[in-house]
Structure 1
């Protein structure tokens, strides 16, 4: 049985939906914190069990009978994130899974300027130490993050953000399709995959231009000093530590950590990945990107 964690989240839900187009529902199980939110999956014949990365006993039950376990990374940072990922890895190994898969990041590295990328690198080390064959899906930076950063600026006509570098912003829908393809073709990748990216690396100057083309309005890009960006976030109620972590996206971008463009995602999809223009167009029309 293929077990997917975090199946009620934005990425996990779409992975399960895509997986159902490739394998029968009775070969799929999900591990979720709140099974009631996964009732739609249960109605389709998917095994739904409660599982929490902070409760080893619940994971043992949720992962029972697993042939593969896909660990969708948590929305935490730092040691807490790595601790939870290690708990899931240990549980998958104890359940006898033949392979553990993990949603990592294209920028995973111990010296990254962006803390989650350091967390991903530490988790990949834990996967290597587990003794279980693993696949680390080196996902491109979520395009949804670019939309969040640029959103207010697109509305106001001025995207005000720190200096950045090119990023291969990649749609959740495409990464979900890729994860489903890899799960259905067990062992296709051993260890970290190549970067799973969209076809272009774009700066926020590029995104401002694309937004202007879509809306027919003037959208400019203004560079904010790093400290001013953090002060503004703190002024809006964001904790200072979280503001510094968000700044890391731009610091890492300037260092070229997210600039790689690779054809692997397109090969997995059998088509070109969604462009940033398509993602923005869907967002601005009020539709979800599918």
Structure 2
């Protein structure tokens, strides 16, 4: 009598920040032999191989290698690309096709909060297109529309030195902890819950720069002022600071999207998958400032 065939999960981008964290959380839930990773450089994933994870070379630019790295997977986690010089829409299409060709039963994709037509933030177009590819793929799929999970100090700028949070007019954003996104993603992949289509994976509350200036003022006991900078003046300041103009204008579209409310949708799914309340922006800033 044949033994039970264990279902494999393959994670792309497993040497990047989010992908690596997902694999670590999967290892807390599943035997290592049920986990595979698809990476550009297998030497950078040796620490996973040493723990029994299947490591294969695969990149979105090499569909044949990608199909091989997906072989035997019931589920594939496609971590969205982040190379601004690449045609990510076409690379994602190829990755979806490779997962289908390899026989995956479900594709889980790391999309973006507010990935809907009309969002001014230009990377949203890539996620909207990729979700359309998934919808037409013929296999089950989930698009996790992740809340913004970058470091908050990177978002707020040099406020610790200047005492000022300066930037374009913004809007409410559900700033989300990256490790909690990874943990929730692993819980979904390893669990019995089924989510079809797009699903918001973001913090349950959204805050503005005004809110954040009050939060850091309360935490530090010093007044941190919020200053709104005119869009064009802000772009000019970025360029003067060495940021290429296309990059500055791309980032400006993020602020435009925020003030139009595209990143404000609260999410309950993150808490459900974690089994606890997620960390708030205030929690994260308090931890950062008292570390």
TM-score range, shorter chain: over 0.9
| Counterpart position of 1:282 | 287
SS of alignment partner, residue 130 of structure 1:
coil
Q: Deviations over 1:92-135 (max 9, x none)?
A: 01100000010011210121110111211110001111111101
Tell me the residue number matched to 1:91: 98
Q: Shift in Å at residue 216 of structure 1?
A: 2.5
Q: Which has the larger radius of gyration?
A: 2
Please, which runs of 5 or more residues in structure 1 have no aligned partner? none
Equivalent position of 2:237 in the other structure: 232
1:30 paired with 2:37, answer yes
CA–CA distance in 1 between the matches of 2:226 and 2:180? 27
Structure 2 CA distance for partners of 1:123 and 1:61, relative to 1, 3 Å: same
1:160 aligns with 2:142: no
Q: 1:182 aligns with which of 181, 184, 188?
A: 188
Which secondary structure does the structure 2 equivalent of 1:210 belong to?
A: helix
1:246-266: CA deviation from partner (whole Å, max 9, x where unpaired): 011110011011111121111
Structure 2 unaligned blocks of 5 or more: 1-7
- Aligned twin of 1:54: 61
Superposition pairs of residues 10-25 of structure 1, within 5 angstroms = 10-25=17-32
CA-to-partner distance for each residue in 1:11-65, whole Å, 9 max, x for gaps? Answer: 1111111111111110000111111211111111101111111111221221111
Displacement of 1:190: 0.8
Q: How many residues align?
A: 284
Query: Is the Cα contact below 8 Å between 1:59 and 1:88 reproduced in 2?
Result: yes
Aligned match of 2:76 = 69
Residue 136 of structure 1 aligns with which residue? 143
TM-score (norm 1): 0.93
Misfit runs of 4+, over 4 Å:
none
SS at match of 2:87: helix
After TM superposition, the score normalised by the length of structure 2 is 0.93
Shift of 1:149: 2.2
Hey, what does 1:256 align to over in structure 2? 261
Tell me the SS of whatever aligns to 2:116.
coil
Match of 1:191 among 193, 197, 201: 197
Q: CA deviation at 1:78?
A: 8.6
Tell me if structure 2 keeps the 8 A contact 1:6–1:13: yes
CA-based RMSD of the aligned residues comes to 1.6
CA distance in 1, matches of 2:244, 2:160: 25
Partner of 1:218: 223
Partner of 2:178: 172
SS in structure 2 of the partner of residue 200 of structure 1: coil
Q: Distance in 2 between matches of 1:186 and 1:62?
A: 24
Q: Does 1:104 align with 2:104?
A: no
